[in-house]
Structure 1
Amino acid sequence: MGTTRRDLLKLGALAAAGAALPSLANAQAAPAIAKADKPLRILILGGTGFTGPFQVNYALARGHQVTIFNRGKRPSPEWPGTVEQLLGDRNTGDLKSLEGREWDVCIDNPTSLPFWVRDAAAVLKGKVGHYLFISTISVYADGSKPGMTESAAVAAYTGKDAMAETIENLRANMELYGPLKALSEAEARKQFGERTTIVRPGYIVGPRDETDRFTYWPRRIAERGEVLVPGDGHDPVQIIDGRDLGEWMVRLAEQGTYGTFNAVGPDYRLGTDAMVHGCHAVTGGDVRFTHVPVDFLTEQKVSFGDELPVWFPAAHEYGGYGQVDNRKAIAAGLTFRPLATTVTDLLAWYRSLPAERQAERRAGMDRAREAAILKAWHDRPQG
């Protein structure tokens, strides 16, 4: 599919937004967040990871009462209001601090193992009115299919006993991630019934993203020079700002919205070219984008999705990850910040990190590897 007039108009809008955002950020504060019609008692399992703090801050701004439950291993942010913290460890079954309590809503952020849902339900069933579970599009059995809806088949677990799986085993075999998430979804529905909401995000990006996956692109483009862009620039990519995801979860709780939703964005087709030009609109500088075909990248043994993160060729086994159907989530109120806003805020956060952390590259291609591939591409025999 070629670049359409709509794509070009969006690139122009991104450029304008990117140019304006830095000065606007200093000139005015973010718009005030209105109070919810009804305050809720919200329990957040996790709360100090990536999206949890966005949920907490938004819930407080909306006037809700917030409790977080975690191991206390991460330092809690400085909350703009009162937040109750309960300590425990779901991996060892220590849920005592949740006993004898009631909440209107429970948002489950970190669960990857079905026994975590089962054990939480043993304490919370009948004590929370609405259970919201963050899952993943990795649950789908066939990641190559474009347009996957929430009714698409999910991955099957083929191990001996899913309830006996451990975090250590999962980390050693990430092929289990999708199937175990799918079983965790099923356990949530089993335990909490029709008052369950399943949210399936794809790549979560923006400030606080420690994976460096999407961060690779604005960071690399900010370094200037010749940048390798995979394919012809038209392969679709999907991302969601962690703030958009976290805040929408709170609104789903407020609205009492149940069901399963693909939380991917944006609300238009974002091609690779639009993504890199959108990043460049924010970073500026002398940048030259060079498209390198998929076949040549394959010859160079490039690891798709790793060395060139958040992107897969449209024909790849995970090519559907950039083409997931999000219409149901949008109809349920999911909204998206402009790409320029996400990139601007992400870079501001990233540049606030210690120098040694910024020097660490957790995803993406190092400069020497990129330069070698670009040289091989330019030096290839012609004709």
Structure 2
Amino acid sequence: MRLLVLGGTGFVGGATVTEAVRRGWTVTVFNRGLHGTVPAGVHRLRGDRTEPDGLAALAGGEWDVVVDTWDGAPRAARDAARALVDAVDHYVYVSSGSVYADPAALGLNEDSPVVDADPDSVDGDYPQLKSGAERAVREAFGDRALVARAGLILGPGEDIGRLPWWLRRIERGGDVLAPGPAELPVQYIDVRDLAGWMLDAGARRLGGTFNAIGRPGQTTMGELLGACVAATGADVRLRWTDPASILAAGVEPWSDLPIWLPAGHPYRGLLERDVTRAFAAGLTCRSLAETVDDTWRWLREVDVVPPRAGRPLHSSIGLDPTREAAVLAT
């Protein structure tokens, strides 16, 4: 198989490249060449898809599958899809569950309403960017396009820092503010499972839109933090705290306490989506312990979470120790 990855050095793109190389595929990446590395044997084309003639390096190439991780202006996704429509058999676009219209109700499926977006636009918020890019890819490739609406993506290489923050916090030991209830469901996907499924689907020329994430309730906050304790071997006490107390203290779900979205939160539905279609199409997920253990091993190797796609590290991830201590004191 001949694979083209637009991007290829970030979190999802890097995992996709690594898995394709493991399978013995011929891999080409296209990016600006400003950050990151690729495995030996991977062909690297350079270009900036946002600039005039920025896709010139793709001219004359032919591939079986392209995987596109773009999260910028939909117009750039449109231009890439149009440029590749005769050069690629199948287009896989990595989208997001954020495209669903508010409020994010429980049980969202692929036919649920999405935010209105223009495939020709050059700006917008994250949901609009992803939704517009979806439309652009579908307009160019039709049934030859697969849209993978990922959700919370965890695993080695994570460049947001959600699971790494919990691992580092628990490593410090002591009393840890654990957002209750412990049985609150968490829905996520390991980046390696996402990459493998996308490659399988691309090889089979599977088209359509899929919620590419694990099953609802595949784990809980209690199991997740327990796995972090086991991986780090830290001496900690998880202080399970009522959500109302945490919210009253001004602690923000998802950013101050990563991964946590309490019941009743406007975006709670993004962690409880319907995945019937994706699992019927062959999606499988590894164990939570494997994801956490491998992320901890990777984090100790790199020490610092890498910046996302050349951007500054998301500095707002994680609760300040002083604020955490204040909440625990009450």
TM-score normalised by length of structure 2: 0.91
What SS is found at the alignment partner of 2:218?
A: strand
Asked whether 1:59 is paired with 2:31, we answer no
Partner of 1:37: none
Q: 1:52-93 CA distances to partner (integer Å, 9 max, x unpaired)? A: 22212221222211111000011313x1x5211111001214
The aligned amino acid for 2:325 is: A
Quick one: percent identity of the two aligned structures? Answer: 40
Q: 1:327-360 CA distances to partner (integer Å, 9 max, x unpaired)? A: 2212212122211111111112212225798999
RMSD: 2.2
Within the candidate set 44, 55, 73, 1:85 is matched to 44
Q: 1:26-73 CA distances to partner (integer Å, 9 max, x unpaired)? A: xxxxxxxxxxxxxx1111101111122221222122221111100001
Asked whether 1:165 is paired with 2:122, we answer yes
Deviation of 1:374 after TM superposition, in Å, equals 0.4
Identify unmatched segments of 5+ residues in structure 1.
Answer: 1-39, 171-175, 377-383
Query: Greater CA deviation, 267-276 or 198-207?
Result: 267-276
- Provide closer, same or farther for how the CA distance between residues 221 and 66 of structure 1 changes in structure 2, counting only shifts above 3 A: same
Partner of 2:310: none
Task: Write the mapping of 1:136-285 to structure 2, written as runs, cut at 5 A.
Answer: 136-157=96-117, 163-166=120-123, 170=124, 176-266=125-215, 268-285=217-234
What SS is found at the alignment partner of 1:192?
A: helix
Within the candidate set 73, 81, 95, 1:135 is matched to 95
Report if the CA contact (8 A) 1:236-1:314 is conserved.
Answer: no
Asked whether 1:325 is paired with 2:279, we answer no
Q: 1:14-37 CA distances to partner (integer Å, 9 max, x unpaired)? A: xxxxxxxxxxxxxxxxxxxxxxxx
Partner of 1:34: none
Identify unmatched segments of 5+ residues in structure 2.
Answer: 308-312
TM-score normalised by length of structure 1: 0.79
Report if the CA contact (8 A) 1:58-1:247 is conserved.
Answer: yes
Measured in 2, the distance between the counterparts of 1:127 and 1:353 equals 37
Partner of 1:379: none
Deviation of 1:267 after TM superposition, in Å, equals 6.7
The aligned amino acid for 1:144 is: A
The aligned amino acid for 2:17 is: V
Report if the CA contact (8 A) 1:314-1:320 is conserved.
Answer: no
Asked whether 1:117 is paired with 2:74, we answer no
The aligned amino acid for 2:106 is: P
Query: Greater CA deviation, 361-370 or 253-262?
Result: 361-370
Partner of 1:290: 239
- Provide closer, same or farther for how the CA distance between residues 375 and 207 of structure 1 changes in structure 2, counting only shifts above 3 A: same
Instruction: Mark the structure with the bigger radius of gyration.
Output: 1
Within the candidate set 28, 32, 40, 1:71 is matched to 32
